[in-house]
Amino acid sequence: MSPTDLPLLQVTGLEKSFGTNRVLGGVDLEVRRGDVLVLIGPSGSGKTTVLRCLNGLETPDAGVVAFDEGTTVDFATKVTKADRTALRDRSAMVFQHHNLFPHLTVIQNVIEGPVQAHGVPRAEAIARAETLLARVGLTDKRDAYPSELSGGQQQRVGIVRALALQPQLLLFDEPTSALDPELVGEVLTVLRELANEGWTMVIVTHELGFAREVADEVLFFDEGVIVERGAPTELLRAPKKERTQRFLNRLLRPLDGPDPA
């Protein structure tokens, strides 16, 4: 196998408990460059914890997270601040509730990470931020504060803030679940564009129509383990596991109609 065939990210045996509550019970997954991996499952099934572990926000009890080009963290050994920083240098996370700094303007929110964490010169960070804001239609909100934005606009700023870090892997934790229904579309449009541009992404979502459209692989989680995985047209239409079938049948959005071209 040549280096270009190696996955960007490989996760082996990821385990996490909070007290007696086992949240992850040995998760294995891999993500290849340019792929979109979608995680689905009921609340509390471990999906968000996986993202937080990949981004160094949570420390697993065991398991290995390995990026290509030498970034490998074995959580069975002592994990250092440098290990967590290495994970954050490779990935960027977009949160469910935006998590923008309320006292900073849009442009200040976007440049904070590149300037403070990555040492990017301020002028370069501003130029990058302005380009990205134009890309998502928010040039006129450059100097606005988060409280002056709609939920959809705030989430688009959150996406821009992640892109400004120029990560190899984008992580999305239910990016539309906190939005009013009429605002969901504008965020999904940005995600579709990122997928079409070849960004590597891991997305936790309940938007199954969107998942079927953009995902290369869908993983169904329940009780901290991957119950089933497969191509979206297979898993979302004809899941093999009874637990997956029950979950999909309970969702409000049926997946009727032809597959997208």
| Domains of the chain from N-terminus onward | 3-250 (3.40.50.300)
Please state the φ and ψ torsions of residue 220, each to the nearest 5 degrees. Answer: -100, 120
Angle between helices 151-164 and 106-116 (to 10 degrees): 20
Q: Fill in the amino acid letter for 77.
A: T
- Smallest CA-to-CA distance from 160 within 120, 192, 194 is with 194
Q: What is the pLDDT of residue 98?
A: 75
**pLDDT at residue 252 is higher than 80:** no
Q: How far, rounded to the nearest angstrom, does the alpha carbon of residue 246 sit from its chain's CA centroid?
A: 25
Q: How far, rounded to the nearest angstrom, does the alpha carbon of residue 100 sit from its chain's CA centroid?
A: 16
Work out the average pLDDT over 179-202: 90
Contact, 109 vs 157, CB < 8 A? yes
Burial class of 21 by CB neighbour count within 10 A (0 to 12, 13 to 18, 19+): exposed
Please give the model's pTM, rounded to 2 decimal places. Answer: 0.91
**pLDDT single digits (tens) 206-242:** 889 899 999 999 999 999 999 999 999 999 999 999 9
**pLDDT at residue 260 is higher than 50:** no
**pLDDT at residue 111 is higher than 90:** yes
**pLDDT at residue 94 is higher than 80:** yes
Between 261 and 76, the more confident residue is 76
**pLDDT single digits (tens) 149-187:** 999 999 999 999 999 999 999 999 998 887 888 888 889
**Is residue 5 very low, low, confident or very high in pLDDT (cuts 50, 70, 90)?**
low
Cα separation, 72 vs 83, in Å, equals 8
- Smallest CA-to-CA distance from 89 within 67, 62, 58 is with 67
